[in-house]
Amino acid sequence: MKENGEETTVSRWCLVSMASIPLVMTLGNSMLIPVLPIFERKVGITSFQSSLIITSYSIASIFLIPVAGYLSDRLGRKKIILPSLILALIGGLIAGYASWKLENPFTWIIIGRILQGVGASGAAPIILPLVGDLYKDDDEKTSSCLGIIETSNTFGKVLSPILGSVFAAFLWFLPFFSISIFSLVSILLVFFFIKVPKDEEEEPQKIKEFLKKTKKLFKKEGKWLYTVFLLGCFAMLILFAVLFFLSDILEKLHDLKGIKKGFVLAIPLFFLCLSSFITGMKIKGNKKVMKMIVIVSLIIMGVFILFVAQNTENLVFLLGIVTMIGIAIGAMLPTLDALITENIEKEERGTISSFYSSARFIGVAAGPPLMSLAISDYLSISFIGAAVVGAILIFMVMKLISGSNKKTKQA
Arithmetic mean of pLDDT, 341-365: 76
Q: DSSP string covering 328-395, please?
A: HHHHHHHHHHHHHHTTB-HHHHHHHHHHHHHHHHHHHHHHHHHHHHHHHHSHHHHHHHHHHHHHHHHH
DSSP code, position 7? E
Alpha carbon of residue 325 to chain centroid: 16
Which pLDDT belongs to residue 201? Answer: 46
pLDDT in tens, 292-322: 999 999 999 999 999 988 878 899 999 999 9
What is the pTM assigned to this prediction?
0.79
Res. 345 pLDDT band, cuts 50 70 90: low
Is residue 34 predicted with pLDDT exceeding 90? no
- Identify the structural domains of the chain with CATH numbers, from first to last: 11-400 (1.20.1250.20)
pLDDT in tens, 223-275: 899 999 999 999 999 998 998 899 888 888 888 887 888 889 889 989 998 88
pLDDT in tens, 161-208: 888 888 988 888 999 999 899 999 999 999 998 887 655 445 556 677
Beta bridge partners of 3: 6
Q: Which amino acid is at 284?
A: K
Half-sphere exposure of 316 (CA within 13 A, CB side): 0
Beta bridge partners of 2: 7
3-state helix, strand, coil in the chain (%, to 5): 80, 0, 15
Beta bridge partners of 408: 344
Beta bridge partners of 344: 408
